[in-house]
Amino acid sequence: MTTIYDLAKKTGISKSTISRVVSGNGYVSEEKRKIILNAMHELNYIPNQVAKNLRQKQTKTIGFLVSDYFPLVGDFINSFTKIAAKYGYNVNVYFTQNAKNELKTLRLLTTRALDAVFILTRINSWDTISSYADFGPISTWQRVEHAHIYSNYIDHYPVYTDVLNHLDGLGYKRVGHVLSSLRNANTRARVKAIDDFKLKHPDSNQDYQLFYHGQHNAGADAADKWLHAKERPEAMVFFADFVAAEFIASLRKHHVKVPQDCLVVGSDNSEIAKLMNIPTIDLCFRNQAHNAFIYLYNELNDQQLPFEKQTPQWIDAD
Amino acid sequence: MTTIYDLAKKTGISKSTISRVVSGNGYVSEEKRKIILNAMHELNYIPNQVAKNLRQKQTKTIGFLVSDYFPLVGDFINSFTKIAAKYGYNVNVYFTQNAKNELKTLRLLTTRALDAVFILTRINSWDTISSYADFGPISTWQRVEHAHIYSNYIDHYPVYTDVLNHLDGLGYKRVGHVLSSLRNANTRARVKAIDDFKLKHPDSNQDYQLFYHGQHNAGADAADKWLHAKERPEAMVFFADFVAAEFIASLRKHHVKVPQDCLVVGSDNSEIAKLMNIPTIDLCFRNQAHNAFIYLYNELNDQQLPFEKQTPQWIDAD
DNA sequence: GTGAAAGCGCTAACAA
DNA sequence: TTGTTAGCGCTTTCAC
C-alpha cells in the first residue's frame, strides 16, 4: 500500500503539498503538481479513506434503519441510496429487529461511524431516538412531530377523505378498512377521516376495520376474515399494496373475483400495484426518500437545497 | 466527545490499560477494571470506531454491489444484511449503474473503506473485477468460474432439465422460454438443457425463445409477443418471478386466463411468486446470500465456517 | 499486570 | 506557494 509518505519520500515534496493535489484543496504549482501526479501513477497511489475519515471527523456514510423487511423496503432503499450516491454519500442498511439492537445501531452515530441516520420504521420511542440527534441529524419516513427529528410526512387525513368520497361516488356503500397500527399517527388520521366521513354519510357503512402491526400475513388473515364475514364489504382499502396483493391472491384461491366481487385498493403506488393492476394511492415515497436525504445533507453541510413537492393521489388500475 | 485520553487523565491509569478493558483484550486487574468502568459510565464514553478502523486496518464493512434495482434485490439485501449483522459486519449498498461507477465503487476496496465486496450483478468483465481481489475478497451471486472470485452458483442445467421433463409429463408439448442474457453462464446452461431435451423429445416444440438483458418491461413485452404469436405456447417458463408476474398481469388485461390458457412458471421462489400463486423454481437465493457472506467472512478472518446446502426444486402453486 | 512510546495515513493551522 | 508541525483516537509491541 502506497501512502502519502511514500510519495513524499519519492518526490522530495512535503506531505502537505501532496495532500493538496490529492484532495484538490489549496494552491500547488503546475510544476510540482505534475511531478506528484506522475509519482501517484507510478506508485499506484490510492488515498486511505479511513485515515481521512478520522482526520475530518466524518465518514460520508448514512445509516438506513428499518425494523424489519417488507417489500417496500427494497423500493425505498433503491430511491434513498441513489440520491445519496449522487451527493457522495454511502448508505449502510440495518434491520434493527428489536429495541436493544436498534439502540445499538443508533450508537453508531455516537461512535462516529455514521454521519447521519434515516429511519424507515422504528421500535423505540421517538423520545429515546431523538436523544441521539445530538450526534448527527436524524430523518424519518414516519409521521412524527418531534424536535430534532425531520419527518417529511404526508397527512393521510385529506388523502383518505378523498378516497372515501371517491368510493362513495362509485357506489360503494359498504367499505372495509385494513389499517396499520394505531401507534402510527397516520393510521389515526385515517380513522379520523373515516369517522368524519360517517357523520356526513349515515347511509354508508365503514365499520369493517382491521388493524395489523406488521405486513406479514396480514393480507391472508384479512382474506380469511372477509370470507367469513356476515356481510362482506364491497370494497376494501389497505394500508399497503403488498397486503392488498396478498389479500387478492388469497381471495382468488377461493374463486372470489376481484374487482367484481370486491374492489381492492392499496396504498403506496409500489411496483407490485402496477404489476397486479391494483388501484392504489400514491403516497410519494420516492419523493419522501429524496427529501429525507436532502434534509440530512443540508444539516451536515450547512446547505439549503430545496425539497421536492409531493402530491398524493388516487391511481386507477388500467 | 470523551476520548480514551480523557479517561486516562481522570483515572490516572494509562491509555493502554483502558484500551484493554474497552476492547476486552489482555489482562487487567479487577480493581483497575472497576475504576475504569466507572469512569466510562460517568463520562459517557463511547469509543471512536473510525480511529479503531484506522489502527486495525479494517472497517467491518462489506460492499453490496448491484448494477441496478429489480425486485429480488430487496429480498437479497434482506438476507445478506441479516447474516452479515449476525457476524458483526455492516453492509453498504451500491447501485453501480454504469461501468465507470462500478469501478469507482470497487476502488473503495483499495481505499480500505470496504473490507470485502459482494456482487449481485455486475457490468465490467470478471477479469477487470477480479483485479480488485488483491485488496479484499470478492464473492458473487452470478455463475462465474474465476480465480479469486467466489461464486456460490447453482447449475441451471440439471434444474432446467427437470423442469422440462416435468412440463412434458404434464402434457405441455409447446413450451416457450423467456430467458436472460446469453452473457450469463446459466442462461447458456438453460439453452443447452433445452437443446438436449429436444433431441430426446422430437415431438415437443421448445423453439419459442425470448432473451432479455434486464427485467424492466420484459414481462409486458413477452406478453405482447405471446398475444401476437402464430402458435401460442401452452406454457411459458421465465428467468425471474417478477417477469412472470408482469407477463401474467399483462395477459389478464387481455382476458387471457392463467393457468388455463397458458401455464406460467417463474424462477427464484421469491415473495411475489407466493403472492401471485405462480409455480416457480426455488433457486435458493437465501442460501446463496448466506454462503456468499460466509465465504467473505472466512477469508477475512481465516476461518472455516461451513456452507449451507442448496437443493433447487420445483415449487407448485397451491 | 501495567505504562511508555510509536504509529495507522491523512489534513490543516501556521509559519516561512 | 510550500514545508513544518501537531494532531485525529485508538491499539499494540516492548520493557518493566
- In the structure grid, which three cell numbers stand for residue A147, read together? 424536535
Contact B272 A275 (CB under 8 A): yes
Place of cell 408476474: B245
CATH topology of domain B4-47: 434 Repressor (Amino-terminal Domain) (1.10.260)
* % residues pLDDT > 90 (chain B): 92
The set of cell numbers assigned to A76 is 425505498
Tell me if B260 sits within 8 A of B286, measured CB to CB.
Answer: no
Integer distance in angstroms from CA A107 to C1' C9?
Answer: 26
User: pLDDT grade, residue B187 (50/70/90)?
Assistant: very high
Residue A135 contacts residue A109 (beta carbons within 8 Å): yes
Share of chain B above pLDDT 70, in %: 100
CATH 3.40.1010.20 for domain A156-282? no
- Nearest CA to B73 out of B309, B285, B239 is that of B285
Predicted local distance difference test score (pLDDT) of residue B318? 79
- CATH class for the domain made up of B58-153+286-311: alpha beta
* pLDDT tens digits along B59-108: 999 999 999 999 899 999 999 999 999 999 999 999 999 999 999 999 99
Rounded Cα–Cα distance for residues B251 and B259 (Å)? 11
pLDDT band at B1 (very low <50, low <70, confident <90, very high): confident
Say if B91 is an interface residue toward chain A (CB within 8 Å).
Answer: yes
Query: Do A4-47 and A58-153+286-311 have matching folds?
Result: no
Q: What is the pTM of this model?
A: 0.93
Q: Do B249 and A276 touch (CB under 8 A)?
A: yes
* Strand ranges across the sheet with A90-95: A149-151, A138-140, A116-119, A61-66, A90-95, B90-95, B61-66, B116-119, B138-140, B149-151
**Which grid coordinates belong to B284?**
435458493
User: Best interface-test mutation with A: which of B2, B50, B102, B274 has the largest number of A CBs within 10 A?
Assistant: B50
Whether A240 and chain B come into contact, CB under 8 Å, resolves to no
Cβ atoms of B138 and B300 closer than 8 Å: no
Q: Could you state, in order of their start, the residue ranges of all structural domains in chain A?
A: 4-47, 58-153+286-311, 156-282
Query: Running along chain A, 318 residues long, what does each successive block of 10 average in pLDDT?
Result: 92 94 90 94 94 96 96 95 97 98 95 96 96 96 93 94 97 97 95 98 96 93 97 97 94 91 96 91 96 97 94 91
Helices (H), chain B: 4-11, 15-23, 30-42, 49-56, 71-86, 99-110, 126-130, 156-169, 185-200, 218-227, 241-253, 271-276, 285-301
Is there a contact between B282 and B315 (Cβ–Cβ < 8 Å)? yes
* pLDDT score at B276: 87
Q: Which of the 8 DSSP states describes residue A255?
A: T
Alpha-carbon distance B287 to A174, whole Å?
45
Q: Is A259 on the interface with B (CB under 8 A)?
A: no
What is the residue-wise DSSP string for B103-146? HHHHHHHHTTS-SEEEESS-SS-HHHHHGGGGGS-EEESS---B
Q: What is the pLDDT of residue A26?
A: 84
Return the pLDDT at A253.
87
Q: Under a CB-based contact definition with an 8 Å cutoff, are residues A65 and A96 in contact?
A: yes
Over 90: is that where the pLDDT of B271 sits? Answer: no
B272 touches chain A (CB under 8 A): yes
pLDDT of residue A25: 86
* Nearest one of A95, A92, A102 to B59, comparing CA atoms: A92
The gap between B29 CA and C3 C1' (Å) is: 14
Say if CB B257 and CB B280 are below 8 A apart: no
Angstrom distance (rounded) from CA A131 to CA A157: 29
Cα B113 to Cα B58: distance, rounded to the nearest angstrom: 8
- The closest nt to A6, taking CA to C1', is C9
Angle between helices A71-86 and A241-253 (to 10 degrees): 150
* A170/B contact by beta carbon, under 8 A: no
CA end-to-end distance (rounded Å), chain A:
58
* CA proximity to B54, closest of B6, B112, B4: B112
Residue A259 backbone dihedrals phi, psi, to 5 degrees: -95, 5
Q: Is the distance from CB of B208 to CB of B229 less than 8 angstroms?
A: yes
C-beta of residue B276 within 8 angstroms of C-beta of residue A249:
yes
**A42 to each of A7, B103, B129, B134, B207, how far by Cα in Å?**
10, 19, 21, 18, 54
Q: Can you give the pLDDT at residue B67?
A: 96
Whole-angstrom Cα distance, residue A285 to residue A141? 8
By C-alpha to C1' distance, D13 is nearest to B16
H or E stretch covering B95: strand B90-95
CA atoms of A45 and A10, how far apart (whole Å):
12
Q: How far apart are CA B158 and CA B196, in angstroms?
A: 11
Model confidence band, residue B245 (pLDDT cutoffs 50, 70, 90): very high
Residue-wise pLDDT for B203-234, tens only, equals 999 999 999 998 989 999 999 999 999 999 99
Who's near B58: CB < 8 A, 6+ residues apart?
A: B112, B115, B300
Interchain CB distance below 8 Å, A77 and B90? no
